[in-house]
């Protein structure tokens, strides 16, 4: 990517000033607000984040509250957003801010990028939006916009492509760096859409866009994935005791969905006979087993295929945590994958 990007600065800033959406985290430049919103928006649509953002701030209005929150309460606030390591890193970073910065948010990119869970993009966003530091914030939206403007066929999934774009944007970063970064993101979200469907007639950069002039918008950006996805089959047990309580268990502290709760499950698809054998190994005496539904849940690198059974058992045991339906809804963070089966 080598095309000079200087001409896009002024038209982008003018467009953003006239077209930016009124979003809750844009009401002020409080770094805590921007930080929480940026972390929530990773891998998640704005529409889905709005309710979570308001609920999160209501429960944890500042860094100090976040640093002290109980882990289960934090996971419950995050329940349904997915990518739960984001929430755990939020708390870790809040603890660092309290202990090393006296509760005052770090104000430079170099300090921000050292915090747990804050990468180059988030550090650039906070530093530029909240503290006017002239640093880029390059995410997928920005890479798509720049690839089309420059007519670049470089793979935007490669680290060196992101590094190249970042270096070029550093050279043209205006005094209003935050508005420029937000403008690029906003343009990618509202106008320069993915999957070959940009709204070019409404784009303030079309006069400077190689993809628009050469009819390449459907071909750009180039995204070549090398990673092969894995599949995991699971038999999931919705176990209820005679008193109506439901069995759950806590997942390990490391790995996928670490620290969350789950419905008991077994790797692979199992027949009813095999399921009865496993239940007896768990120390449970089933009275009836009913197949309820199938579901699929997609993670970053793995797809879960699940078959769920509703199983009544004569009595509880100590292997599982037994909770009421209300307790499950209010106190125990259950990943979306398992919520699909309730």
CA distances (Å), origin 295, targets 130, 249, 339: 42, 20, 10
- Among candidate residues 38, 120, 133, 182, the one labeled active-site is 38
H/E stretch holding 312 = strand 302-313
* CB burial of residue 184 (10 Å; 0-12, 13-18, 19+): buried
Give the per-residue pLDDT at 300: 84
Domains (range + CATH), the chain: 6-214 (1.10.340.30), 230-339 (3.90.79.10)
Question: Phi, psi at residue 238, to the nearest 5°?
Answer: -95, 95
Integer angstrom CA distances of residue 143 from 35, 41, 55, 121? 21, 17, 31, 12
- Cα separation of 36 and 53, whole Å? 7
Known catalytic membership, residue 38: yes
CA angle 302–308–314, rounded 5-degree value: 135
pLDDT at 1 over 60: no
- pLDDT tens per residue, range 153-187: 999 999 999 999 999 999 999 999 999 999 999 99
- 3-state class (DSSP) for residue 128: helix
Sequence-distant (6+) residues with CB within 8 A of 338 are 236, 262, 263
Model-level pTM?
A: 0.78
Q: How large is the average pLDDT for residues 271-281?
A: 95
Which tens digit of pLDDT belongs to each residue from 105-138? 999 999 999 999 999 999 999 999 999 999 999 9
Cα–Cα distance between 160 and 300 in angstroms, integer?
21
Report how far residue 59's alpha carbon sits from residue 316's, in angstroms, rounded to the nearest whole number. 34
pLDDT of amino acid 82: 87
Specify the range with the lowest mean pLDDT, choosing from 102-106, 143-147, 249-253. 249-253
What is the structure's pLDDT at 74? Answer: 96
């Amino acid at each position: 990517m080598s095309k000079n990007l200087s001409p896009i600065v002024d038209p982008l800033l003018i467009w953003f000033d006239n077209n930016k959406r009124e979003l809750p985290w844009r009401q002020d430049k409080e770094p805590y607000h921007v930080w929480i919103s940026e972390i929530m928006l990773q891998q998640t649509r704005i529409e889905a984040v709005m309710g979570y953002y308001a609920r999160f701030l209501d429960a944890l209005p500042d860094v100090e509250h976040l640093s002290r929150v109980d882990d289960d309460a934090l996971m419950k606030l995050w329940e349904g957003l997915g990518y739960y390591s984001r929430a755990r890193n939020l708390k870790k970073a809040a603890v660092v801010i309290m202990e090393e910065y006296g509760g005052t948010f770090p104000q430079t990119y170099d300090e921000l990028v050292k915090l747990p869970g804050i990468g180059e993009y988030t550090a650039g966003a906070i530093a530029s939006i909240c503290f006017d530091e002239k640093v880029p914030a390059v995410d997928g939206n920005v890479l798509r916009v720049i690839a089309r403007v420059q007519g670049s066929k470089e793979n935007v999934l490669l680290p060196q492509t992101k590094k190249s774009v970042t270096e070029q944007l550093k050279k043209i970063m205006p005094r209003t760096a935050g508005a420029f970064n937000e403008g690029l993101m906003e343009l990618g979200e509202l106008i320069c859409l993915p999957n070959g469907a940009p709204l070019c007639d409404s784009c303030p950069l079309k006069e400077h866009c190689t993809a628009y002039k050469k009819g390449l918008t459907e071909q750009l950006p180039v995204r070549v994935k090398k990673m092969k996805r894995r599949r995991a089959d699971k038999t999931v047990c919705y176990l209820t005791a005679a008193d109506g309580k439901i069995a759950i268990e806590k997942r390990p502290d490391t790995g996928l969905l670490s620290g969350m709760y789950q419905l008991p499950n077994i790797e692979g698809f199992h027949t009813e006979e095999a399921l009865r054998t496993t239940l007896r190994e768990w120390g449970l005496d089933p009275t009836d087993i009913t197949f309820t539904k199938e579901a699929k849940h997609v993670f970053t690198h793995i797809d879960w295929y699940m078959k769920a059974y509703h199983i009544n058992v004569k009595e509880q045991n100590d292997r599982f945590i037994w909770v009421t339906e209300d307790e499950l809804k209010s106190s125990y963070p259950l990943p979306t994958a398992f919520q699909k089966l309730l």
